[in-house]
Amino acid sequence: MCKVLVIIPCFNEEENIKKVINNIQLNSILNNSITSDFFIECLVINDCSTDSTLKVCQENGYNYLNLPVNLGIGGSVQSGYLYALEHGYDIAIQHDGDGQHDPFYFKDVINPIITGQADIVIGSRFLLPKGFQSTKLRRFGISIISKLIYLCTKIKVHDVTSGYRAVNRKYIELFSSRYDQDYPEPEAIVNALLNKAKIKEVPVVMHERKSGKSSISSLRSFYYMIKVSLTIILYRILFVRKD
């Protein structure tokens, strides 16, 4: 049986995390194609939340890591990968704690890994004209970063900022040793591609956040695009020198 860890990074998600876990558990019960072949366990990463996220996890008996300091999204996810590596999981799924990701698509992000089609599978909101598509400003920034990744790697990835992704054991190990701390999703793609990863996108429908607040404002979106673009270029330069 394949062991799958669902990594759920959380910062101040007291209003969302219970619904997220319930949806994952309900999906696992209803979807026999998953429960018959996989053992799925959730791990909530409480990134030093200042609300009652930790209390919700404790009261409901969730499996969780409570970080003593705020590490940001990159540090939270890397903590999950370290846990997956140390506990022998075959596949790790990143799943946001804000309710935007739908566990209905677990089988779609897992199956290409099981069949050997991919090392990493990204759930892309842009392959279907449905669900929450993000703002126009963010979509513009995503398209720029996508083009830059293609220039650096010759691989086209549409939804480069999607945090909904699954990885196999090899890339659990890679990401547990190195995972960018600030806006890590595009950098992780480049890191994986430069290390010969097979990446596949599958269509998913995402939902808009119902409560809480996103960490990326309009001003930070501009900073995000500049910072990520420079990081990708630096990755490419350093990798060429390494070769």
Is the CB of residue 91 less than 8 Å from the CB of residue 166? yes
Helix orientation angle between 72-86 and 184-194, rounded to the nearest 10 degrees: 50
Q: Provide the pLDDT for residue 37.
A: 75
Helix (H) or strand (E) holding 130: none
Q: Which two tokens stand for residue 54?
A: 């930790």
Q: Provide the pLDDT for residue 216.
A: 52
Radius of gyration of the chain (CA): 17
Q: Provide the pLDDT for residue 241.
A: 45
Distance CA 189, CA 149 (A): 8
* 165-168 and 91-94 beta bridge pairing: antiparallel
Return the bridge partners of 44, or none.
Answer: 8, 64
The whole-number mean pLDDT for each consecutive block of 10 residues of the chain, a chain of 243 residues, reads 94 96 83 66 97 98 97 96 98 95 94 96 89 75 91 93 96 94 87 94 86 55 75 73 49
Is the CB of residue 17 less than 8 Å from the CB of residue 47? no
Listed by start position, the domains of the chain span 2-242
Q: Provide the pLDDT for residue 134.
A: 72
| Superfamily of the domain at 2-242 | Spore Coat Polysaccharide Biosynthesis Protein SpsA; Chain A (3.90.550.10)
Q: Provide the pLDDT for residue 30.
A: 60
